[in-house]
Structure 1
Amino acid sequence: MNKQVKVLIIEDDPYICELIILYAEKSGYKVDIANDGMTGLEMFYDSPPDLVILDIMMPEMDGWEVCKEIRRFDKTPIIMLTGKGQSYDKLKGFKLGTDDYLVKPFDPNELMARIKAVLRRANPMFDANEIIELPLLKIDFQQYKVTYEKQEIVLPPKEMELLYFLASYPNQVFTRQQLLEKIWGVDFEGDSRTVDVHIKRIREKLGNSNAYWRVKTIRGVGYKFEVDNH
């Protein structure tokens, strides 16, 4: 991703906070800490994170209330971190909108894996960092740069994400609905013509008639990034 992922930890146990900070920063995340629910909510609104790790049993305001407040206005991914392992608590968390649930004591490596999985579900492009190079074309997603025939082409974020995603899966067909979910998210309320408009703009900027690759329309289905392997 072209920006550092920010994680907000709302947890009153200093040892657990230190442990998560150690592993999260090692994984490349920026970390903010709040030791009670009220402070956590204030930090959430003052400087919105990409993901929240939320304890249940805390002073001032418990994790259930914090989760409920966040979900009133926002869909930022939340991982519940708690000593309660009963199925009732898990169900309650998921009903409130928690994305994942981890019971203490936990393996910090497992938490890092779950963070990555939850972030990827929320935004499939979050950890995209590969440079894709083809004849005439170079896509550097981390820098949000596209070079076509040695000229830098400016693409708005969604066009960039759509091109990078398609080029990451050469010769694989995606329906318009799949592309909407992957690039705009499962909660996007627009229609499939959004994809068509963005494909048209990409083609206008990069052309679509060279001998090496093209964004191809699969009639009645969707699109694929077709690459000539010969």
Structure 2
Amino acid sequence: MQHAYGSTQAQRRSARVLVVDDDPTVAEVVAAYLDRAGHVVDRAGDGPSALARLAAHRPDLVVLDLMLPGMDGIEVCRRMRAGGPVPVIMLTARGDEEDRILGLEVGADDYVTKPFSPRELVLRVESVLRRSRPPAAPGHRMAAAGLTIDPTGRRVTKHGVELALTLREFDLLRFFLRHPGRAFSREDLMREVWGWDFGDLSTVTVHVRRLRGKIEDDPARPRLIRTVWGVGYRFEPGGEAD
């Protein structure tokens, strides 16, 4: 199977990755594959240890297990995000969609369901890291409906006030601003924003809902990100509320 988000070894850049999992076998395998990909890996077996390592040296990305003793991955992710932006990929052994959605709701950028291929996880890590790094060339600022996007600094303001967007929320909003008035299906957005040709489409739904909550004056009656029934979503800078 071809992965649209795959990268070659030459394209990869070393990053500091924190792996949080109470299963030493899983943690060891994940760490070994990430180390082989050229990354510097730190490990933690529970939530408090993960938060302590995060405070001591903020990583470039966290691979976080959902099921941790004492403090679960949801709470760990929530506390991590409260301390500032850090990309998070959540691991879950559960098949329950509610758990996956909850992880995305608290700020996880992606999730991988156990059992998983370590090589697949490395590719997901590479995909998230690529999008979290500043562009090599300065990007042009974009503005619409009181929103201003600074691609180089990865900052978004609404009427001059900076918004706290996650990595994927930023990418999603930037994509919408680049294509105003055009309707996109969830499959389109998964491919164009996430860089994947396959995946759980509820990921897109959750991120659209979270983005609406941050940029809309009334998220219950969205004016900017419109639902196009039977298709998907459309960004309307000057549209009326649904």
- After TM superposition, the score normalised by the length of structure 1 is 0.57
Matched to 1:12, the amino acid is: D
Segments of 4+ in structure 1 off by > 4 A?
178-181, 188-191
Q: Deviations over 1:76-132 (max 9, x none)?
A: 00000110122111111111011001000001111111111111222244xxxxxxx
Aligned to 1:214: none
Aligned to 1:216: none
Distance 1:183 1:20, change over 3 A: same
Deviation at 1:24, TM superposition (A): 0.3
Deviation at 1:4, TM superposition (A): 3.6
Aligned to 1:185: 154
Distance in 1 separating the partners of 2:56 and 2:140: 38
Aligned to 1:16: 26
Q: Deviations over 1:5-59 (max 9, x none)?
A: 1000110111111111111011110000000111111011111100000001111
Q: Deviations over 1:118-162 (max 9, x none)?
A: 11222244xxxxxxxxxxxxxxxxxxxxxxxxxxxxxxxxxxx4x
| 1:28-67 correspondence to structure 2 within 5 Å | 28-67=38-77
Aligned to 1:99: 109
Matched to 1:184, the amino acid is: G
Which one has a bigger Cα radius of gyration?
A: 1
Distance 1:40 1:99, change over 3 A: same
| 1:1-230 correspondence to structure 2 within 5 Å | 4-125=14-135, 161=136, 165=137, 175-177=140-142, 181-187=150-156
Distance in 2 separating the partners of 1:88 and 1:25: 32
Distance in 2 separating the partners of 1:103 and 1:80: 8
Q: Which runs of 5+ in 2 are unaligned?
A: 1-10, 161-242
Distance 1:69 1:25, change over 3 A: same
Report if aligned partners of 1:7, 1:31 keep a CA contact under 8 Å in 2: yes
Q: Which runs of 5+ in 1 are unaligned?
A: 126-160, 167-173, 192-230
Partner SS state of residue 152, structure 2: helix
Report if aligned partners of 2:47, 2:72 keep a CA contact under 8 Å in 1: yes
How much identity, in percent, do the aligned residues show?
A: 37
- After TM superposition, the score normalised by the length of structure 2 is 0.55
Distance 1:95 1:68, change over 3 A: same
Matched to 1:80, the amino acid is: M
Deviation at 1:176, TM superposition (A): 2.5
